[in-house]
């Protein structure tokens, strides 16, 4: 009996020990090359003193064909005999570390992460340093989650740097807007921050350790999800070489060459007949060849399967596998490569060397993340603990981003800011007034906290009456009589209206630009009944046609707040009651409802007057606008002047005539040479003064325009932007460095950059400065 009891006690103790070991493992971040494992000492791929290329070559040489194929998918299984754990490539961090992919969980010591504003609102700050700091915070929190054992991978599929070409696009909210320069600058700042580079770059080279891996998506010309029966899986984007050169490709080039992103995602759609993930010219010739990309290329999820199953581009599943691997893709988000690669090899359609090429890219990135360097606690980012997630510093940064992105669109008779001392009662009406979910937008994780607009406003006014006004954001039914009754009995009314993810999201593009359902009727009715002009707040990613509200004298102020993140309600209330001076500016054009007559499938950027096609984005659109790109008011008035421009006349001389130009005067920039272009750079200094009574942060946007636009040149083009803080009455000077070869050139019809003689203008606000080019 005593022996049996001892045996039971021993088994119980053993079970408890195993349980403790299991629990310890669950919080242990996965890694290879454990120094406590004697066998790892013999593996060349574990020797950190060797170059990564040599270590990867050794690792790949040890793998069987089955093991090689198993690693080509996003959920890569472990290889126990080599001590290599499983790896999940798919994690998301669009505007904060999120559990939207398969790699991150919030079920341990870290239950949430900082949720920054949706990207479209952050872009409205036009502040690249802010974007970098957000990237830094996200990268730090990502590594902390990994160190806590709650991440199965460190590759994050963000940023989304597609151009917000059409206002109906459900995913436009994820992007920095419609301008290629802004989108490229955002990509560079975000990627450098996430990966652990310095703000100016140069700290990380392609072989250095990454804090986390960023991935620029969706390559390329992807900006339609599901519109009138046309979906992203079958859509063939017909894009001119001219539009590719100066609109769709530049953000990706910047993301790679300046940001040095370690990942690229190829898109679902075809471009000019070829699926993006099967396009050798796109992935290998352009990204790897011209831009020197050395990271990994992943498909969007199930994008390989649709090449055969939906697009019919490949004749068999094996052909689809061959097409993407030969094109230069490395990781399949899905299972198609796992299922069909073996057969493709057996059919002699695919060489094993093509698989090895992909594996080299895959394992190089995992090694750069330090996942083959032994215990990560002893590595450069091993001391980043759970206290770095949802830190006060990061939460303050989320609030700062919301404050600086919110755009004041209208402020008649200086209705805003409302007085904190005389506002005794306030009605807060609208379906978005008290929705925590709406604040976040899509691809959001679990936020550290959530402050709705209602909660934010309640901190300023004791007597707040709230009513949703609508049954939901779609506002299929509206309680107009109740809302009107409330509006009549208070000092001021704030209407919190707009969109949410039921109206715009991935796989769902809008059909209309006006507010949904009975929202407009509710707004008009409440505004008529209120004692004083009302404040209208719009939460949305895409633009909304609010022309009637813009004209309505009973609507005194309009604010666009995007999807402002976890602290959005605080930021909004601070602006409404004057504790923050709004300075955001629209990163997209706001079009009238009639724009929906234009097919969303028409990818042309440039207008075509002969057919009535108006063009797209501020650079080419020639129709009516509700609000312009870059528009935004403030509680202060700012005055500009050109303090100095180093040079106003530029002469270019070539001994040989240019080739591939449409006019004899145009010269190919590539023929001018780097030395000549470098020597023509010139500085521009802009003076700015805050003539208001409040301190403010103000973005300065510098444009160029041609006196006589021709041959598809933009109406105007943003060439630089900076954000500056000024106290009331304070002046400052801001400098820009411009290059005629870059900033005064245009793309010709075959996609080559050319420079032409003629008069150009530098434009800031209402001020213009002439610059002439002769050839």
Residue 664 Cα distances to 655, 660, 757, angstroms: 14, 10, 11
Token pair of 317 as six digits: 């599943």
CA distance 664 to 662: 7
Burial bucket for residue 84 (CB in 10 Å: 0-12, 13-18, 19+): buried
CA 589 to chain centre: 17
CA distance 176 to 160: 8
Q: 455 Cβ partners below 8 Å, 6+ apart?
A: 434, 569
Token pair of 505 as six digits: 């999201």
CA distance 141 to 631: 34
300 among known catalytic residues? yes
Rg over alpha carbons for the chain, rounded to the nearest Å, is 28
CA distance 694 to 580: 9
Kindly name the residue from 300, 319, 330, 373 that is annotated as catalytic. 300
Among the listed residues 545, 557, 641, 701, the one whose alpha carbon sits nearest the alpha carbon of residue 125: 701
* CA atoms 356, 360, 366, 370: torsion sign: positive
Is residue 544 classed as helix, strand or coil in its secondary structure? coil
Peptide bond into 159 cis (omega under 30): yes
Is residue 614 classed as helix, strand or coil in its secondary structure? coil
Q: Please, what is the Cα angle at 760 between 758 and 762, to 5 degrees?
A: 165
Among the listed residues 518, 551, 540, 519, the one whose alpha carbon sits nearest the alpha carbon of residue 590: 540
CA distance 192 to 698: 24
Q: β-pairing, 425-429 with 492-498?
A: parallel
Catalytic residues: 300
């Amino acid at each position: 009996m005593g022996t049996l009891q001892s045996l039971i006690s021993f088994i119980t103790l053993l079970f408890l020990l195993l349980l403790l070991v299991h629990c310890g493992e669950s919080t242990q971040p996965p890694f290879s090359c454990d120094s406590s494992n004697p066998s790892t000492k013999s593996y060349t791929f574990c020797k950190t003193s060797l170059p990564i290329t040599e270590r990867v070559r050794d690792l790949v040489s040890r793998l069987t064909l089955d093991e090689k194929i198993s690693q080509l998918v996003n959920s890569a299984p472990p290889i126990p005999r080599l001590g290599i754990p499983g790896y999940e490539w798919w994690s998301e961090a669009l505007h904060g570390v999120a559990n939207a992919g398969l790699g991150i969980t919030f079920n341990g010591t870290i239950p949430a992460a900082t949720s920054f504003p949706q990207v479209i609102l952050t872009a409205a700050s036009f502040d690249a340093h802010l974007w970098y700091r957000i990237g830094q915070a996200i990268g730090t929190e990502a590594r902390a989650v990994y160190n806590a054992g709650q991440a199965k991978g460190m590759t994050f599929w963000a940023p989304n740097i597609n151009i917000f070409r059409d206002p109906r696009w459900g995913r436009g909210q994820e992007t920095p807007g419609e301008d290629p320069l802004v989108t490229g600058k955002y990509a560079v700042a975000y990627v450098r921050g996430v990966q652990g580079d310095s703000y100016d770059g140069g700290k990380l080279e392609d072989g250095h350790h990454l804090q986390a891996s960023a991935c620029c998506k969706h390559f390329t010309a992807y900006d339609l999800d599901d519109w009138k029966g046309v979906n992203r899986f079958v859509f063939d984007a017909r894009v001119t070489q001219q539009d590719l050169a100066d609109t769709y490709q530049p953000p990706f080039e910047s993301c790679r060459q300046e940001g040095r992103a370690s990942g690229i995602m190829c898109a679902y759609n075809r471009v000019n007949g070829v699926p993006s993930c099967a396009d050798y010219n796109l992935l290998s010739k352009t990204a790897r060849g011209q831009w020197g990309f050395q990271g990994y290329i992943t498909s969007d999820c199930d994008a390989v399967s649709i090449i055969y199953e939906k697009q019919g581009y490949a004749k068999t599943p094996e052909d689809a596998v061959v097409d993407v691997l030969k094109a230069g893709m490395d990781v399949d988000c899905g299972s198609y490569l796992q299922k069909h690669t073996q057969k493709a090899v057996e059919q002699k359609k695919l060489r094993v060397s093509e698989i090895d090429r992909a594996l080299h890219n895959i394992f190089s990135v995992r090694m750069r993340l330090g996942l083959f360097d032994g215990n990560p606690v002893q590595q450069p980012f091993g001391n980043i603990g759970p206290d770095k997630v949802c830190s006060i510093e990061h939460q303050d940064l989320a609030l700062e981003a919301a404050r600086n992105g919110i755009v004041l669109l209208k402020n008649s008779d200086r209705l805003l800011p409302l007085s904190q001392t005389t506002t005794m009662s306030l009605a807060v009406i609208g379906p978005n007034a008290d929705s925590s979910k709406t604040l976040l937008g899509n691809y959001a994780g679990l936020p550290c906290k959530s402050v709705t607009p209602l909660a934010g406003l309640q901190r300023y006014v004791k007597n707040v009456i709230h009513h949703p006004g609508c049954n939901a954001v779609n506002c299929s039914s509206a309680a107009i009589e109740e809302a009107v009754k409330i509006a009549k009995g208070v000092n001021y009314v704030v209407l919190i209206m707009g969109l949410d993810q039921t109206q715009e999201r991935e796989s769902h593009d809008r059909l209309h630009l006006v507010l949904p359902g009975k929202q407009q009727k509710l707004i008009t009715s409440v505004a008529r009944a209120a004692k004083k002009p009302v404040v209208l707040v719009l939460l949305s990613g895409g633009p909304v046609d609010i022309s009637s509200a813009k004209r309505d004298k009973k609507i005194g102020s309009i604010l666009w707040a995007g999807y402002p993140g976890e602290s959005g309600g605080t930021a909004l209330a601070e602006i409404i009651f004057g504790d923050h001076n709004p300075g955001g500016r629209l990163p997209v054009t706001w079009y009238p409802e009639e724009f929906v007559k234009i097919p969303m499938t028409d990818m042309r950027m440039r207008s075509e007057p002969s057919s009535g096609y108006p063009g797209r984005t501020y650079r080419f659109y020639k129709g009516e606008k509700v609000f312009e790109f870059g528009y935004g008011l403030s509680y202060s008035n700012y005055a500009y002047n050109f303090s100095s421009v180093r040079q106003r006349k530029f002469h270019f001389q070539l001994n040989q005539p240019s080739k591939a130009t449409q006019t004899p005067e145009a010269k190919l920039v590539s023929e001018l040479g780097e030395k000549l272009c470098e020597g023509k750079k010139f500085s521009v200094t802009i003076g700015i003064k805050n003539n208001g009574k409040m301190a403010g942060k103000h973005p300065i946007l510098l444009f160029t325009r041609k006196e006589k636009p021709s041959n598809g040149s933009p109406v105007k083009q943003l060439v630089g932007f900076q954000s500056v803080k000024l106290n009331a009455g304070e002046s400052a000077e801001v400098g820009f460095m411009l290059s005629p070869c870059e900033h005064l050139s245009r793309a010709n019809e075959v996609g080559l950059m050319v420079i032409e003689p003629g008069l150009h203008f530098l434009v800031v606000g209402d001020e213009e400065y002439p610059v002439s080019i002769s050839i």
